[in-house]
Structure 1
Amino acid sequence: MLAFITTQTRSWNGSNIDAIVDADLRLGWQATEALSLSLVGRNLLHSAEQAFIAEAWESASAIERSFYLNATYKW
């Protein structure tokens, strides 16, 4: 599954968050009827992006590119 994510430019209290286009990818394999494996990559088009401005902190928060493996076993 490939998903493209788009956002619009947003502003809050004088700070701006730029519009972005990014992508997430999930590659999955049903190894057996009970076992499924997948590799997931998030925010693949940018190494880090400003996602929101938190009220509790003066600086903006960034979400970095990430990868993970997932295994699900059903019995």
Structure 2
Amino acid sequence: MKLDPSGCSGYIMYSKKIDLAVFQKKIDKYINTRGKIYSKWGLYADYADCVMVIPPTGIECIDEKPTLVFGVYTK
């Protein structure tokens, strides 16, 4: 799942067992709060770099933890 509709923030791995509606509300709250903080402190993301964000190509188990893989699988 993309963290931010702009595609600039990255991706989140999550279990298929969660309540997706509740999870999406948490993500929306995070994005809204981040926007308020950015406005308050005069911070601005450079969205020109968004073009370079690519989706993950898969998931691997690294150090016994699921990890998003970008590019070629190592296995």
Under TM normalisation by the shorter chain, which class is it?
A: under 0.3
Larger helix share, 1 or 2: 2
Larger strand share, 1 or 2: 1
Q: If the length of structure 1 is used for normalisation, what is the TM-score?
A: 0.23
Larger Rg: 1
